[in-house]
Amino acid sequence: MANSQNQGEAHGMSNEEMMRHLGGSLDRMPNEVRVILFAGRDDDDNVFSQVARQSLELFSKMSKKVRVEEYPLNHELARKYGIETAPTLLFNPETYNIRWLGAPAGEEGRTFMEILFLIGFGQSSLSEQSIRMMDDLDGPRSVKVFVSPSCPYCPQQAVNAARAMVQRPDLVSLELIDIQANPDIADDYGAHSVPQTFAEDLLIGLGAQAEEVFIQSLQKLEEQRIFIPESTAELVETDLLIVGGGPAGLTAGIYAKRSGLKTALVEKGVLGGQVATTPVVENYPGFTSVGGKTLVDIMVQHALEYIDIFQGEEVLAIEPGQPIAVQTSRRRFNTQTLLIATGATHKHLGIPGEDRLSGRGVSYCSTCDGPLFKGKKVIMVGGGNSAVTEALYLYHMGVDVTLVHRRDNLRAQEYLIKSLKDNGIPVLWNTEIKEILGEERVKAVALIDSKTKEESNLPIDGVFVAIGYSPSVELAEKIGVALTPEGYIKRDERHRTNIPGIYSAGDVEGGYKQIVTAAGQGAEAAISIFEDLINPYWKQGKK
C-alpha cells in the first residue's frame, strides 16, 4: 500500500493514523464487502498470492466492513465461479461480477480501495452524463482492463470500469488483469502496454480515458477520443482557471489561491504530467532521490489544500472575453483569467511500424511498461536526459537495454552519462531506426548507420522511445494565441500571451523543461495574474 503511505505522510499523518482514518471511512460504508481470495497453497503459493494475502489482511484488520475469505484453487467455490488462476479476487460475487487477477499492490492499491468504497456504498458515483449513457447500454459488456502495479495511469481506467460495473451489474462484468501476474493472458490479447481495455474482446481503450470517453467507448464498442456533452453542464465561476495539472499548473494554483484568487484546475489525464512517469527525480531541491509519482502525490496533496481540481475533464473550447468562457467535457467555467499549463507530449519517431506496434512492444513510458520486459532485450531511442534516465531505470529492473542514439555524443547531464558508463549499458552510436518490424508485436528494428549508411536488422523485443517532447498547444492555437517559431507559446516576461487575460507557464513555453523551472514559472504566472486582476491591463487598453 505504498500509495496510501505516501498520502498519509503528505497529510502529516503517521501510518497508524492513516489506517485508523481509512478504517473509519470503511466503517461508514452501509454494505459489507466480502472479498474472496483464491490462492495457491504451500508449494503452489506464488509471490502474487502472498502479496494479495498480506494486503487483504491489512484491510480486514482496518474495518469490520471488509470480510476476507481465502480458498485454494481446488475448492468447490473456485469451480463454481470458474476460477483458474491464483491469485484471483472476487468482491460480493452474489451481486457483482468482478474478478481481479493479481494482487492489489503498488498503484493498484488505489484501485482496490476505490472498489471497496464503490461496492461498500453500492453507488457508482458516475456523472449524470455517464449514467445516461449506461442507461442506454444495448447489451452485455464483458470488460477486461490490463493493469500493472507500477503504472500511475492504470487506476483511473480500472476505476472507470469498476464504476460502470457497479452502475449496471446486470450487463457489465469486469476482469482486472495484472499483466505481471498473468503474462500469458496479456500475450493472448497482445496487451503489451498498460492500461489497455477490451470489451467483448474488442479494444476500446489504449491508455487512461476520461470517464465519459470511457463510458462512450464501452457503449459504442469502439475507442472514442473525445466526448461531447449532450446538455449544458454546471457553471463554475473563477478568477483563474488553470488548464493542466503538472508542476507548473499545481504551483500556480497554490500561489493564486494563497493570493486570494478563486482558482480551479482542469486536467484531462493524469496529474503531474511527465513527472508522474519519470522513474526517479534527483534534482528537485529537498529530495535527494524521489520517485516521480511520489513527488507528484506530494504536490497534488499540497495543491488540494487550496484549489479545486477537476481531473479526467477535457477542455473542449475556449472563448476569450470578459469573462473567458471555457467548455469542458463536463461543465462550463466562466473565468476572469486563464493559465495554459498544458505541458508537452512525447515525440514520435514517425517511422513505419511505430504507430501500428504502439502498445505491442513500442512504448513511450518505461515506468508503465518496463516490468513487462524483464529479462528481455529492448532498445531505448534518444540521447537526452530522459533516454538515459529511463535506460538506467530499465537496466536496474533487469531489462537487457541498449541505448540507440543518432549522433556520437549524448546531450544528457554528465552525472547520468557517467552512470550509464559505470553500469556498462551498451550504446549504438550514430544509429537511426528506419523501421520497426513485426506482425503482432515487435520482433526487430531496421537500423541505418548515419555515417556509413550501412543497414542492418537487430532482433529485439521492445522499443522504448524518449526523444523529447512537443508542446501541447492545440487549444492555444485554436483561439489564436501566438506561438514562437519553435512552436511554443509566445509570452512576455509576465507570462502574458497576446490574448488579454490568457497566460502560460511550464513546458508549453519551451525553455529548460525542468520540474523546478516549471514550478517557478507557475509561481511567477500566478503572481503576475494576481497583480493584473487588481489592476487589469486589458481595461487600461494597454499591455
Active site residues: 365, 368-369
Q: Which stretch binds ligand NAP (CB under 6 A): 197-205, 254-262, 288-296, 509-517?
A: 509-517
4, 434, 498 from 495: Cα distances, Å: 36, 40, 10
**Residue 113 or 412: which CB sits closer to ligand NAP?**
412
Tell me if 249 contacts ligand NAP by CB under 6 A. no
DSSP E strands in 225-281: the ranges are 234-243, 263-267, 280-281
Q: Which of these ranges, 54-62, 66-74, 123-131, 378-386, lies near ligand NAP under the rule CB under 6 A? A: 378-386
Binder of ligand NAP out of 279, 382, 462, 471 (CB under 6 A) = 382
C-beta closer to ligand NAP: residue 109 or 383: 383
The single residue among 53, 67, 302, 406 that binds ligand NAP, judged by CB under 6 A, is 406
Q: Based on the shown chain and the rule CB under 6 A, indicate whether residue 291 belongs to the binding site for ligand NAP.
A: no
Cβ–Cβ under 8 Å, residues 466 and 364: yes
**Residue showing the smallest CB distance to ligand NAP in the complex:** 384
- Nearer to ligand NAP among residue 49 and residue 521 (C-beta): 521
Give whichever of 130 and 366 is closer to ligand NAP, judged by the CB atom.
366
Q: What are the grid coordinates assigned to 391, written together? A: 535506460
Residue 407 contacts ligand NAP per CB under 6 A? yes
Cα–Cα distance for residue pair 383/393, rounded to 1 Å: 15
Here the cell at position 123 is 453507488
Cα distance between residue 111 and residue 91, in whole Å: 13
* In contact, 146 and 194? CB cutoff 8 Å: yes
The least distance separating ligand NAP from the CB of residue 430, rounded to whole angstroms, comes to: 10
Q: Which of 349, 392, 436, 447 binds ligand NAP (CB under 6 A)?
A: 349
In the complex, what is the shortest distance from the CB of residue 513 to ligand NAP, in angstroms, rounded to a whole number?
A: 4
CA distances from 492 to 495, 498, 532 (A): 5, 9, 13
Q: How far is CA 241 from CA 64, 526, 537, in A?
A: 42, 11, 18
Q: Which is nearer to ligand NAP, 9 or 432 (CB)?
A: 432
* Part in contact with ligand NAP (CB under 6 A); list of ranges 54-62, 225-233, 488-496, 511-519: 511-519
CB of 293 to ligand NAP, least distance (A): 15
Nearest residue to 104 (alpha-carbon basis) of 27, 49, 182, 174: 49
Element (H, E) at 205: strand 202-206
**107 residue type, one letter:** E
Binding test (CB under 6 A) with ligand NAP, winner from 113, 362, 466, 519: 466
129 counts as binding ligand NAP under rule CB under 6 A: no
- Pick the binder of ligand NAP from 15, 54, 95, 283 (CB under 6 A): 283
Rg of the Cα atoms in the chain: 24
Give residue 464's Cα distance to chain centre. 17
In whole angstroms, how close is the CB of 469 to ligand NAP at the nearest point? 6
User: Which positions from 415 to 454 touch ligand NAP by CB under 6 A, shown as an x/- string?
Assistant: ----------------------------------------
- Taking the complex as a whole, the smallest distance from the CB of residue 436 to ligand NAP amounts, in Å, to 12
Of 513, 519, 524, 530, the one binding ligand NAP by CB under 6 A: 513
Q: Could you tell me which residues come within 8 angstroms of residue 321 by beta carbon, excluding any fewer than 6 positions away?
A: none
Choose which of 111, 294, 367, 386 interacts with ligand NAP (CB under 6 A): 386
Beta-ladder partners of 326: 318, 333
Q: Which of 540, 506, 520, 517 is nearest to 242 (CA)?
A: 506
Residue 416: CB minimum distance to ligand NAP, A? 7
Q: Does 468 bind ligand NAP (CB under 6 A)?
A: yes
- In angstroms, the CA 115 to CA 125 distance is 11
Q: List Cα–Cα distances, 267 to 182, 215, 287, 311, 331, in angstroms.
A: 32, 18, 25, 5, 13
Beta-bridged to residue 449, according to DSSP, are 431
- Nearest to ligand NAP of 26, 248 (CB atom): 248
Closest by alpha carbon to 416, among 280, 292, 236, 277? Answer: 280
End-to-end CA distance of the chain: 51
Which SS3 state, helix, strand or coil, does residue 402 take?
strand
| Among 272, 384, 438, 501, interactor with ligand NAP by CB under 6 A | 384
Q: How far is the CB of 407 from ligand NAP (least distance, A)?
A: 4
Which of 411, 441, 443, 494 touches ligand NAP (CB under 6 A)? 411
* Binding site residues, ligand NAP, CB under 6 A: 283, 349, 381-387, 389, 406-407, 411, 466-469, 512-514
